[in-house]
Amino acid sequence: EIVLTQSPVTLSLSPGERATLSCRASQSVSSNFLAWYQQKPGQAPRLLIYGASSRPTGIPDRFRGSGSGTDFTLTITRVEPEDFAVYYCQRYGRSVFTFGPGTKVDIK
Amino acid sequence: EVQLVDSGGGVVRPGESLRVSCVASGFTFDDYAMSWVRQAPGKGPEWVSTLNWNGDVADYADFVKGRFTISRDNAKNSLYLQMNSLRPEDTALYYCTRVYAKAYDYWGQGSLVTVSS
């Protein structure tokens, strides 16, 4: 069973700062089937990044995904007030989807 | 506009059954695999089951194998999850999701399932 670990658990930032969120897999993620989601209270998760680095239509380019193998990063280049939320990574492999435990980005 | 509308949640006792449903619109339903993802109160999302485009291939998380059955009716643009032998730990918001590039690009609003005696 592949386990995803996210760090930090909480990231406290001011608007305009850069956010760097980490997602580490216990085994290599094949074909970079790694995605990132944003979730705000009372809402369903929203897909931000798929294929490790691709953005769906409508996702601002301040959200950037990178990494390969077992180490992946979500970067928010300049955090906007609406970006304070919980972020989850998710991988796919061998017909199984797995989510990480999440990183909360809150206001400093 | 892509929409997924979840329904069918409710309160049941341990050991009972429930079926949640999802109606899709705004895209060609049988072009996509679909999944159910759940989220317990205060917890992160958790994959439950995935069904391929024509209903031939279903995958399940270990914790629901033998208890839950995913199905779809492409003529009705609908996805279903039949849940039997429900346990208190199955209490969660159940989301219908569309699978795209091994991720979930659209989510329903969720159906709340509460299992309690």
**Which of B44, B61, B110 has its CB closest to that of A44?**
B110
pLDDT in tens, A67-99: 999 999 999 999 999 999 999 999 999 899 999
In this prediction, residue B49 carries a pLDDT of 98
Can you list the pairs that A29-32 forms with residues at least 24 positions away whose Cβ atoms lie under 8 Å? A29/A2, A29/A68, A29/A69, A29/A70, A29/A72, A29/A91, A29/A93, A30/A93, A31/B102, A32/A68
CB–CB contacts below 8 A, A to B: 59
Q: In this prediction, what percent of chain A has a pLDDT beyond 70?
A: 100
To 5 degrees, how large is the angle CA A38–CA A93–CA B45?
30
Q: Which of B35, B102, B106, B112 to mutate to test the interface with A (most CBs of A within 10 A)?
A: B102
Closest partner residue to A92 (CB to CB) among B44, B102, B108 is B102
pLDDT, position B61:
97
Mean pLDDT, residues A14-25 taken together: 97
Output the pLDDT for position B52: 97
Q: How far apart are CA B33 and CA B56, in angstroms?
A: 11
Q: Does A37 touch chain B (CB under 8 A)?
A: yes
Residue A30's pLDDT band (boundaries 50, 70, 90)? confident
Q: What does the pLDDT profile of chain B (117 residues) look like in tens digits?
A: 999 999 999 999 999 999 999 999 999 999 999 999 999 999 999 999 999 999 999 999 999 999 999 999 999 999 999 999 999 999 999 999 999 999 999 999 999 999 999
Rounded to a whole number of angstroms, the distance from the CA of A45 to the nearest CA of chain B is 7
Yes or no: say if A13 and A107 are a contact pair by the CB < 8 Å rule. yes
The count of residues in chain A is: 108
Each residue's pLDDT tens digit, A47-66: 999 999 999 999 999 999 99
